[in-house]
Structure 1
Amino acid sequence: MSARSKARKRALDMLYAADVRQTPVSEVLEAEAKRAASEPQREASWLYAREIVDGVGDHATEIDELISSNAQGWTLARMPAVDRALLRIGVWELVYNDEIPAAVAIDEAVEAAKELSTDDSGGFVHGVLAAVARSRTA
């Protein structure tokens, strides 16, 4: 697994934890930063995970609006928490991180959804992120 894939998983864990616990992302990020300080071998994945979580936090309103407007028939509250977190990561990478190709951002989120969420989540996550990507290139 690449360092960026590991970072996405760490970011997913943090965003999911904050969402489920209804805790500010900054608190979860601070706790994870303390843990990461004692794990220098995981520094590469930690740096990108922090960038993702900071980015999602900095652009939360815009990201959630993009998800909501492209998730036909679904509200954010109705989505599984894992899907919400994966979509937030995917949208952040699509919109705010020019280093990640759209196909990579979408594929990583879809594969994680297939592995970690419901049977229908892979298709759902793909549909929402593909719509966001199309709207960005239009």
Structure 2
Amino acid sequence: MGARTKARNRALNMIFQADVLRQPLSEVLATEGMRAVHEPERRASWLYAEQIVQGVLAHQEEIDEKITSSANGWTLDRMPHVDRAILRVAAWEILFNEEVPTPVAIDEAVDLAKELSTEDSGKFVNGVLGRIALLAEL
């Protein structure tokens, strides 16, 4: 597993934790940052995970609006927590990180959804992110 894939997993875990436990994402990020100081072998994945979470924090309103408008009748509250976290990570990459090609962001998100969520989540995540990507190109 590459450093960016590990970083996406770490970011996903932080966003998921904040959502499920109703903790401020900034606090979860700070706690994980302190832990990362003591894990030099995981530094490469930490740096990108931190970048993702900070990006989601900075743009959460816009990211959530894009997800909601692309989810065809699904509200954020109706989505499984893990799907919502996956979508936030990937939407940030698509909308705000020019270093990651859109197909890579979508593929990674779909793989995570298939591995971590419901039977239909891979298709759902793929559809939502595909619409976000199309809107981003306009």
Deviation of the 1:137 alpha carbon: 1.3
The residue aligned with 1:71 is 71
Task: Provide the aligned length of Structure 1 versus Structure 2.
Answer: 138
The aligned residue for residue 132 of structure 2 is 132
Aligned to 1:95: 95
Deviations 1:73-122 (A, max 9, x none): 20000000000000000100000000000000000000000000000000
- Paired-residue identity, %: 59
Residue in 2 aligned with 1:21?
21
Aligned-partner Cα distance in 2 for 1:58–1:104: 22
SS in structure 2 of the partner of residue 59 of structure 1: helix
Give structure 2 stretches of 5+ with no counterpart: none
Q: How does 1:1-138 map to 2 (within 5 A)?
A: 1-138=1-138
One-letter amino acid of the structure 1 residue matched with residue 136 of structure 2: R
Q: Which runs of 4+ in 1 moved over 2 A?
A: none
Q: 1:42 is aligned with what amino acid?
A: R
- Give the aligned residue type for 1:34: M
Specify the SS of the correspondent of 1:100.
coil
Q: TM-score, normalised by structure 1?
A: 0.99
Deviations 1:20-76 (A, max 9, x none): 011000110011011100000100000000000000000000000000000002000
- Offset of 1:135 from its aligned partner? 1.0
Shift of 1:136: 1.2
Note the aligned Cα RMSD (angstroms): 0.4
